[in-house]
Amino acid sequence: MAADEPCWLPAIELATLIAAGETSPVEVVEAVLSRIDASQPGLNAFITVCHDGALAAAREAEAALARGDPPGPLHGVPFSVKDLVNTAGVRTTFGSLTMADNVPTGDSLTVARLKAAGAILIGKTTTPEFGHKPLTEGPLFGRTANPWSAGHTAGGSSGGAAAAAAAGLAPLALGTDGGGSIRIPAACCGVVGLKASLGRIPHDQAADIFGNLTYMGPITRTVADSALMLQIMAGPDPCDPFSLGLEEPDFQAAADGSGDLTGLRLAWRPYLGNTAIEPEILAMTEACLPVFEDLGARVEAQADDFTNTEPTWLVITHSVWASRFQHLVAQSANRMDPSLLAQVGKGNAYSAVELQDAARLRSELFRQVQGWFEDHDLIVMPTLTRTAVPIDSDPLGQVEIAGQAAGSLRAAWYPYTHPFNLTGHPAMTLPCGFAANGLPVGLQLVAPWHGEARLLRAAALFEAARPWAQRRPDLPL
């Protein structure tokens, strides 16, 4: 096996090789750490790298195998964690200078479950300050580049997680998604990103669990690895009322790639309250529809009867940020990202009535989207209206689509993602090819509430028909 080959193997394959003694956790972790160190100057996907802790955990994993201890499903497999998610004894900065020395005493539930399955924390990936924008940059760490093009963004806010997955810096990445923050960077970097149903993966860090629109979820290079991560992280917990009482399907079996899609009804929605999309992106995503039809599905085009959800999302999200971060602004504004300061200011300007109006619209939106599934089993759409934007783009400025200014970044670049944060529906982005500029293009599938197994099955069959994981970015290592 080549020195860096463990960096590219799927987690499922790595775990099998480790359990069989054909490779060791120490060899795998050393290979990944070496690649992370070599990539950092150009890619900058990590805020903290756990050199000592990861190697110590790898040695213990090796010793456990030598003792004959039964291995877990991820025994010895490295994983990264977005630096918004708590990790015991490892600093969690939230991408902010104001939290640069914060070291949690406990793991988030998701991290604890991955560790219990045998996975080894390799490091904390980059995120804009408190995950507030779709470009992964900030005063604490600088900028994270796209693995396929240093001049373009990795997306955000889980940009470090997606860049790490695409660049072979651990097969599993834990991200978060408050408006598309798993799916945007996954599409930009050519990997798989899954936002599950509200509550499917319990969220123990949500400040307002009843009004929550943020999610933790997997970013991986293969559908099967996302299914395995979901299997491990899902399941009820008292911290999250939306997790209670849910059945626990066999997500891994759903993603095994067997069978076909006979009888499945898909709705094609190329527009979702937006008016602009790059013609190349529209053509590439529409060209995926025959793949599903060849697998037995029936695809029907749907008219755009949708209103862009950016205004509703902004009222809720800006209000949350004003509530959470106003005290930091008062203390440390000169150390914070100007784009976060501007949005906290907007949050302070909303009235209680405007916030309640947004909550009402969110309920109406859920009923509208859930109604789509009376006639269809899955919804198919592009993930983004264009490929990754230039790395120095203004997060509060206009985005250019098809050579024209098309509106704000949130409304015009990713109108397909934030609606499903508001409604709670599971949504997954899959790589579907590369544009003429060499950057990846993503296709998004959306399922009804708790429809992750259906989503994973269709995604795995699409992946088998249109494989992508063999593509590797040519990094200047």
Q: How far is CA 340 from CA 139, 324, 337, 440, in A?
A: 11, 12, 5, 28
Name residue, tokens 């599934």.
373
Known catalytic membership, residue 82: yes
What kind and span of H or E run contains 441? strand 440-446
Which range of residues forms the domain containing residue 69?
Answer: 5-465
In a domain, 151, yes or no: yes
Which CATH number covers residue 427? 3.90.1300.10
φ, ψ dihedrals at 260, nearest 5°: -145, -165
CB atoms < 10 A from the CB of 67, how many?
7
Residue 1: the pLDDT is 62
In a domain, 470, yes or no: no
In a domain, 183, yes or no: yes
CA-based nearest residue to 59, from 27, 19, 107, 13 = 27
In a domain, 31, yes or no: yes
Give the C-alpha separation, 145 to 159, whole Å: 8
Q: Where are the beta strands (DSSP E) in 228-356?
A: 265-268, 298-301
Given a contact cutoff of 8 angstroms between Cβ atoms, the answer to whether 28 and 18 are in contact is yes
In a domain, 477, yes or no: no
Known catalytic membership, residue 195: no
* Strand 192-195 with 215-220, pairing: antiparallel
**Of these residues, 80, 82, 226, 319, which one is catalytic?**
82
Known catalytic membership, residue 393: no
In a domain, 156, yes or no: yes
**Of these residues, 24, 80, 158, 181, which one is catalytic?**
181
Give the C-alpha separation, 218 to 226, whole Å: 6
The C-alpha torsion from 139 through 141 and 142 to 143, rounded to 10°, is: -130
In a domain, 473, yes or no: no
φ, ψ dihedrals at 252, nearest 5°: -65, -40
Given a contact cutoff of 8 angstroms between Cβ atoms, the answer to whether 261 and 295 are in contact is yes
In a domain, 475, yes or no: no
What kind and span of H or E run contains 227? helix 223-233
**Of these residues, 96, 149, 157, 393, which one is catalytic?**
157
CA-based nearest residue to 87, from 102, 71, 72 = 102
- pLDDT by residue for the chain (477 residues), tens digit each? 677 889 999 999 999 999 999 999 999 999 999 999 999 999 999 999 999 999 999 999 999 999 999 999 999 999 999 999 999 999 999 999 999 999 999 999 999 999 999 999 999 999 999 999 999 999 999 999 999 999 999 999 999 999 999 999 999 999 999 999 999 999 999 999 999 999 999 999 999 999 999 999 999 999 999 999 999 999 999 999 999 999 999 999 999 999 999 999 999 999 999 999 999 999 999 999 999 999 999 999 999 999 999 999 999 999 999 999 999 999 999 999 999 999 999 999 999 999 999 999 999 999 999 999 999 999 999 999 999 999 999 999 999 999 999 999 999 999 999 999 999 999 999 999 999 999 999 999 999 999 999 999 999 999 999 999 999 999 987
Residue 275 Cα to chain centre, angstroms: 25
Give 111-148 as a DSSP string. Answer: HHHHHHTT-EEEEEE--SGGG-SSS-EETTTEEPEETT
Residue 411: the pLDDT is 96
Q: How far is CA 48 from CA 87, 119, 236, 303, 323, in A?
A: 11, 17, 30, 46, 28
Helices H / strands E in the chain, number of each: 16, 17
The Cα angle at residue 428 between residues 411 and 179, in degrees rounded to 5: 35
Give residues with Cβ within 8 angstroms of 338, minimum separation 6. none
Give the C-alpha separation, 330 to 332, whole Å: 6
| Number of domain units in the chain | 1
